[in-house]
Amino acid sequence: MKRKNDRGFPDRQAIVAFIKANQGNVGTREIAREFGLKNADRVELKRMLRELADDGTIKKKRHKVSEPDTLPSTLVADITGRDSDGELIASPTEWDEVESGEPPKILIVMPRRPKPGTAAGVGDRALLRVERIDETEGPAYRGHIIKVFDKAKSRILGVFRSLPEGGGRLVPVDKKSADRELNIAAADAQGAQDGDLVSVDIVRSRAFGLASGRVKEKLGSVKSEKAISLIAIYAHDIPLQFRPAAEREAEAAEPANLKGREDWRDVPLVTIDPPDAKDHDDAVHAQADDDPNNKGGFIVNVAIADVSFYVRPGTALDRDALDRGNSVYFPDRVVPMLPERISNNLCSLVPGEPRGALAVRMVIGPDGRKRSHTFHRILMRSAAKLNYAQAQAAIDGRPDDTTGPLLDPILRPLYTAYACVKRARDERDPLNLDLPERKILLKSDGTVDRVIVPERLDAHKLIEEFMILANVAAAEMLEKKSLPLIYRVHDEPTLEKVHALAEFLETLDVPFAKSGALRPALFNRVLAQLEGHDHFPLVSEVVLRAQAQAEYSAENYGHFGLNLRRYAHFTSPIRRYADLVVHRALVRALGLGEGALPDTETPETLGEVAAHISVTERRAMKAERETVDRLIAHHLADRIGSSFQGRVSGVTRAGLFVKLSETGADGLIPIRSLGTEYFNYDESRHALVGTRSGAMHQLGDVVDVRLIEAAPIAGALRFELLSSSGETAPQGRRASGRQRRPSFKAHPGRSPAKKHKPAKPKKARQGQEEQRQRPEGQGMVTMSTAPKIWTRETGLVEKRDVWTAMKRGFRGRCPRCGEGKLFRAFLKTADHCSACGLDFTPHRADDLPAYLVIVIVGHIVVPGILWIETNYTTPVWLSFAAYLPFTFFASLALLQPVKGAVVGLQWALRMHGFDDNPPDGIPPV
């Protein structure tokens, strides 16, 4: 029933209910039609929708509104301000505004007596426990602070570059700040040398010139070995050194013996790991089951290093392990969760040495399903240390001296048991996204030698499947014993993402059922239909992006990707704290001795631990990814101008992200360099579509690109598009299914015309076409862009585009996207837009007379006011005394907005061809 207030206008609850009931296709027009609103009510409706969006109650994207994406029960958030009542308001730290719109607001609820470490203020970052609020007014979520993280917002991490005259410059390591260097005076350098990685406090920001900073701490040198990973370690606050107390505990630890353990030293368990693995914490063994009731079945044993025996709850080792959450694996080093004495010695299952372990013995039926399992605390002795390729070669008929004696008694039973287990896996039908993983091989000096894609072998799948079985057995055992544990959970995709995927597949004429229960098999069928097709890489990428992110939780909601009802990490306690918690819980549940989970641990306390280690896991992934980006950027810095083949890995309003086939490097093609027309961002197709030609650059397209710019310290690359396998959008279906006129929201480029007059060439700015290079690691390495063709239009496509550009410039924003800042200082136009990359060089309005505004204000406005004032008795000198300061300050205030409006006008007219000269660097036809 439609609820309306006394004025006949629908209330907030009714509008929110209608939006929730019609997800994904609701706009102002639909709401007005539903509630019978007239045109006069549209203003009030838009105001109400804007308020709901500001509160986070709804999500507004372009002209559509929807219910905001739901937040997890625990997350990290930044406290951004206060509401009208003085209550703290926070926003999630990790939120994809491109995919999900504006982040929802979280109302922070402070207890009367805050616990130590939970007092927060504006600007802090905190770990929150959040819950949805049913009320339609105010923020959509309520949050309780679990922990406040230290955060220095004014501190910047970068590489110090010395200057001959003393002092130096700071080159920031963050991609977003790569071109915003800081000036470091000689007195503020604190002895920093060229190439030092330093932490800098911003001293002051000037209206003109560079901001100044003071070196706070010297962290290392990028000239040293393993320097690239050092940047990520400090940028993400990854603990590098262990506490002295933890080191002492590790050195004092004694090897495990038979006390309280079963003797499994005669069981021929083997480890199978990558060839460069440092820790060997899991071993496997399989044999045919001799039980007559299980003919064709197997006994599979999985033994995991007994880390809980050495790392006891509440110790310094435990505190350090919890702080780290997990080990971090960089191409040039490993930052372990535990000291080397534990991870690479006492808990490493090296051949021939007795080691303590926690083992699970699983009975597998002939159908491949696990029938039963038991856990044991054992003393074992590894029979061999193998790598994946070595084990696979032996099975394929190429054994070596190590695998030859193991082939029949150990390896063949393992592979036979895997073949049996694989049948059950295929019936379970987990999500089949087998994406290739690249590996960087380094030279002795720490630089990139080459990038390879290791072959995916049955040996990998064997270990993976046995580890999954062991993880499931651990979760089932702890649930049976009613003990709290940390689950590894993976939620199903949100309905919004499923609808978006269905709309995308519809553009490819691929059927996809949006209704009914979601199962991984649904996505697998789509992938199977397109296997071998040109669109397969594209669809695989879109299906992957539709999935939720796996995390740790004390509450179980299953693992969607693996299609399992319960799942916990048990098999890597050396490198994951979650596995250590599960080991302790098993020791407590089964009464296996020392190192058990304390009785004080509850689902609530473990929920906080799960939230923390989920954050550290994402931190490690981001640090590893950024290090790879920096290594490859260093590797490619001397190949500026070279051509590469790649595939479009991301599409945004700023341009195309491309992943190179050769190295897997990621870089951006700015939208301004795509071509000679306007490009609209088509969200449903994951594409940029030309409004005139219909040329479409889509996620997954194979492209040829030229490397234009490299920033090794930040790990950023910029490309220029040479050719693309992209198609042409069908007429009538361009830009989200219908032909649209160019708009500045669509990020216009330059529009060609069929009829034009030759343009006069304009002299290029000095140095515009010169190739600029700096020493390696010192900012950007660039080259001039390749020649393009510029043509002139005879008329504006849409006059309001010019007006929009002028309004954006008046507000000091980029005339194309309306987001990036136009000015870097007072009256100083920036070199390019920080959001969309638009080059401001051809239209900086530097020739705008500054006195133009003064003339307008001083000779027109003030005399006009004085003329009006003649009707009053106020003396003329008093009027001048009042209005001359007004004239001065009004002129000063309007100088920059007027210049911005002129920049917007210049850009709009230039893009439409109202300029006899072509844009700089682009010759006429």
Q: Encode pLDDT of 298-311 as tens digits.
A: 999 999 999 999 99
Question: Using one digit for the tens of pLDDT, what is the confidence trace for 511-532?
Answer: 887 666 788 999 999 999 888 8
DSSP 770-819: S----STTSS-EE-PPPP--B---SS-S-HHHHHHHHHHHHTTB-TTTS-
Pair 633, 665: CB distance under 8 Å: yes
Specify the pLDDT at position 482. Answer: 94
Helix segments in 236-299, DSSP class H: 244-252
The 3 state secondary structure assigned to 534-592 is CCHHHHHHHHHHHCCCCEEECCCCCECCCCECCCCCCCCCCCEHHHHHHHHHHHHHHCC
Specify the pLDDT at position 249. Answer: 95
Specify the pLDDT at position 744. Answer: 33
- pTM score of the predicted model: 0.67
Say how far apart CA 103 and CA 43 lie, in whole Å. 24
- Non-local CB neighbours of 810 within 8 Å, separated by 6+ positions: 897, 898, 900, 901, 904
Query: Longest Cα pair distance anywhere in the chain, in angstroms?
Result: 117
168-177 burial, b if ≥16 CB within 10 A, otherwise e? Answer: bbbbbbbbeb
Specify the pLDDT at position 802. Answer: 79
Residue owning tokens 């290791």: 454
Say how many Å lie between the first and final Cα of the chain, rounded. 63
Say how far apart CA 224 and CA 218 lie, in whole Å. 14
Phi, psi for 788 (deg, rounded to 5): -125, 175
The pair of three-digit structure tokens given for residue 371, joined into one six-digit string: 């029938």
Pair 297, 339: CB distance under 8 Å: no
Distances in Å between the alpha carbon of 523 and those of 327, 390, 527, 910? 32, 34, 6, 47
Helix, strand and coil content of the chain, in percent to the nearest 5, comes to 35, 25, 45
Specify the pLDDT at position 760. Answer: 39
Residues in the chain: 925
Helix axes 458-480, 388-395, angle to 10 degrees: 110
Say how far apart CA 72 and CA 249 lie, in whole Å. 37
DSSP 829-875: E-SB-TTT--B-GGG--TTS-THHHHHHIIIIIHHHHHHHHTTS---
Please, what sign has the CA dihedral across residues 214, 218, 224, 226?
negative
The pair of three-digit structure tokens given for residue 248, joined into one six-digit string: 């002492």
Pair 225, 246: CB distance under 8 Å: no
Distances in Å between the alpha carbon of 444 and those of 229, 567, 700? 15, 41, 35
Pair 692, 706: CB distance under 8 Å: no
Closest among 179, 106, 178 to 144, alpha carbons compared: 106
Specify the pLDDT at position 142. Answer: 87
The DSSP code for 78 is: E
Distances in Å between the alpha carbon of 436 and those of 456, 458, 540? 8, 15, 12
- Non-local CB neighbours of 141 within 8 Å, separated by 6+ positions: 56, 71, 104, 105, 106, 107, 130, 131, 132, 133
- Collect the ranges in the chain with pLDDT lower than 70: 1-8, 22-25, 54-56, 59-64, 66-70, 96-101, 112-118, 123, 134-137, 150-155, 175-179, 203-209, 223-225, 514-516, 725-800, 835, 837, 841-884, 887, 911-925
Query: Which of helix, strand or coil describes residue 244?
Result: helix
Say how far apart CA 674 and CA 786 lie, in whole Å. 12
Q: What count of other Cβ atoms lies within 10 Å of the Cβ of residue 508?
A: 16
Phi, psi for 298 (deg, rounded to 5): -140, 160
Question: Using one digit for the tens of pLDDT, what is the confidence trace for 854-863?
Answer: 566 566 666 6
Specify the pLDDT at position 373. Answer: 97
Amino acid at 142: R
Closest among 402, 385, 356, 373 to 466, alpha carbons compared: 373
Q: What count of other Cβ atoms lies within 10 Å of the Cβ of residue 919?
A: 18
Pair 550, 563: CB distance under 8 Å: no
Distances in Å between the alpha carbon of 913 and those of 751, 756, 918? 8, 9, 8
Pairing of strands 211-221, 196-204: antiparallel
Say how far apart CA 73 and CA 91 lie, in whole Å. 14
- Cα of 599 vs its chain's centroid, Å: 38
Please, what sign has the CA dihedral across residues 444, 445, 449, 455?
positive
